């Protein structure tokens, strides 16, 4: 059955090579997923050799883990490892059918990335963004072919979370959208079409939940108590989840929501302090104690 809002699947174009911009937390998980499910060459790029090596190293290490658990035979292990390459240049995207970016959540950075990618790829190559809150239409607005831009919003951990939000911008054409749904299906994700509104669907829902948890904390309830109160309600309590997604991403999402819907969302000064202090979460990684 065709998912609600998906165009005619006969319009979908084949994807025989994938480019990924960024080699960080989300990007390297995406590389692994595309590799396993599409079994096509995947090129991972970032701004320096160290980041690229870290991203490719993550993919290799995860493949080794799967092989160690008997979930990948030695033939596939070697084939998958050979299919993933890393580079600091985007030249390897020239024959890609899909390029997805997962770089820093800032509109100007993402627009710059797309402009650089467009200079290399074919006019039909789909340009996807893993943004969790920014406007797809605005990201596409300065391109020669804005109709090939689409949001593909994945969730962390990418291998486990079943959902994919697919977000067309105002100029996205049906072939691009159909390709996005076909790719989502091949990746074995549950695909939903979301409108191009700040934070789409999931992060709006999650933003209310996280904002309320932060408000209870800011009103004086200890962090462990707030987290413990979620026992059985969610797979991960709110402040543990912030450690998984990263405080800067959580803050960016919260601020986007406050700007878009000031009557409904809450920007926590405690979260702002955590980010300003460069902490990786509300809990210390080694001791498990709250950092503030």
Contact pattern for ligand CAA over residues 175 through 204, marking x by CB under 6 A = ----------------------------x-
Which helix (H) or strand (E) covers residue 45, if one does? Answer: strand 42-45
The reply on whether position 277 binds ligand CAA by CB under 6 A is no
Residue 158 Cα distances to 241, 244, 278, angstroms = 14, 12, 24
The reply on whether position 36 binds ligand CAA by CB under 6 A is no
Look at residues 218, 210, 215, 216 and name the one whose alpha carbon lies nearest to residue 257: 210
The residue (of 236 and 276) whose beta carbon lies closer to ligand CAA is: 236
Give residues 71-130 in contact with ligand CAA (rule: CB under 6 A): none
The count of other CB atoms within 10 Å of the CB of residue 47 is 12
The reply on whether position 157 binds ligand CAA by CB under 6 A is yes
Q: Is 145 annotated as catalytic?
A: no
Q: By rule CB under 6 A, what count of residues binds ligand CAA?
A: 13
* Selected range binding ligand CAA among 92-100, 159-167, 184-192, 215-223, rule: CB under 6 A: 159-167
The reply on whether position 235 binds ligand CAA by CB under 6 A is yes
The residue (of 56 and 245) whose beta carbon lies closer to ligand CAA is: 245
The residue (of 114 and 154) whose beta carbon lies closer to ligand CAA is: 154
The residue (of 137 and 161) whose beta carbon lies closer to ligand CAA is: 161
Smallest gap from Cβ 159 to ligand CAA, in A, equals 4
The residue (of 120 and 161) whose beta carbon lies closer to ligand CAA is: 161
Burial degree of 69 (CB within 10 A; 0-12, 13-18, 19+): exposed
Question: Sheet holding 149-153: strands in order across?
Answer: 84-87, 42-45, 18-21, 98-101, 126-129, 149-153, 163-168, 190-193
Residue 99 Cα distances to 14, 61, 184, 244, angstroms = 13, 23, 14, 25
CB 91 within 8 A of CB 120: yes
The count of other CB atoms within 10 Å of the CB of residue 63 is 21
Residue nearest to ligand CAA according to CB distances in the complex: 132
Residues that bind ligand CAA (CB under 6 A): 132, 155-157, 159-161, 203, 235-236, 241, 245, 249
- Active site residues per annotation: 153
């Amino acid at each position: 059955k065709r998912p609600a809002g998906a165009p005619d699947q006969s319009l979908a174009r084949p994807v025989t090579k994938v480019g990924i911009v960024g080699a960080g937390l989300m990007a390297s998980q995406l590389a692994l997923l595309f590799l396993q499910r599409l079994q096509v060459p995947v090129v991972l790029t970032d701004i320096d050799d160290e980041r690229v090596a870290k991203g490719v190293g993550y993919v290799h290490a995860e493949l080794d883990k799967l092989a160690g658990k008997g979930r990948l035979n030695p033939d596939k292990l070697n084939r998958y490892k050979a299919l993933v390459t890393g580079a600091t240049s985007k030249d390897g995207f020239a024959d890609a059918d899909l390029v997805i970016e997962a770089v820093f959540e800032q509109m100007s950075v993402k627009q710059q990335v797309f402009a650089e990618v467009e200079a290399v790829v074919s006019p039909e190559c789909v340009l996807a963004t893993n943004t969790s809150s920014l406007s797809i239409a605005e990201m596409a607005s300065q391109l020669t072919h804005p109709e090939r831009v689409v949001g593909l919003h994945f969730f962390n951990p990418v291998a486990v979370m079943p959902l994919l939000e697919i977000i067309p911008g105002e100029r996205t054409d049906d072939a691009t959208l159909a390709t996005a749904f076909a790719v989502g299906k091949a990746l074995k994700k549950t695909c939903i079409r979301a409108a191009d509104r700040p934070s789409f669907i999931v992060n709006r829902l999650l933003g209310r939940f996280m904002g309320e948890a932060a408000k209870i904390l800011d009103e004086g309830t200890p962090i462990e108590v707030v987290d413990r109160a979620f026992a059985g309600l969610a797979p991960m309590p709110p402040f543990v989840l912030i450690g998984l997604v990263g405080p800067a991403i959580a803050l960016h999402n919260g601020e986007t929501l406050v700007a878009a819907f000031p009557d409904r969302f809450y920007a926590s000064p405690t979260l702002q302090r955590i980010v300003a202090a460069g902490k990786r979460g509300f809990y210390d990684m080694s001791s498990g104690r709250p950092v503030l």
